[in-house]
Amino acid sequence: MIQKVLPSNPLVAVSDNGAPITSDGGNVLLSMFLNSPVVSRLFNNVEFNDNRKNPRYAKEELLLQMLIQVIEGYRNDDVADYLTQDIEHRLVYAQNMTSQPTLNWC
């Protein structure tokens, strides 16, 4: 059995033992990809014009959340409120997902 621990959250591991997974179980693999050095270099090369005062979330975090939602198949940003409460997202991404209004303001 192969087992990999998430770089973003060492308490979460991926293993292939043939057991059923959640409908969003691919998030674990997506998180591993998004935390890879290749993606990190890509994000480091993106420049944001950020005029916000005292932002709670960095623009990079918001972009990452939007990418995650689109890759998962959630096309509307109104799903952000649901994902803020989703335990799997909290475990896999080891961060607070922002609410829909915050995504809309950015």
Model confidence pLDDT, tens digit, residues 39-56: 888 887 888 888 888 888
State pTM to two decimals: 0.65
pLDDT at position 20 = 57
Model confidence pLDDT, tens digit, residues 8-39: 777 777 676 666 556 666 777 787 788 788 88
In angstroms, the CA 92 to CA 49 distance is 29
Task: Measure Cα distances from 90 to 45, 49, 60, 70 in Å.
Answer: 27, 28, 18, 17
Model confidence pLDDT, tens digit, residues 57-105: 878 888 888 888 888 887 777 777 777 777 777 777 766 677 777 777 6
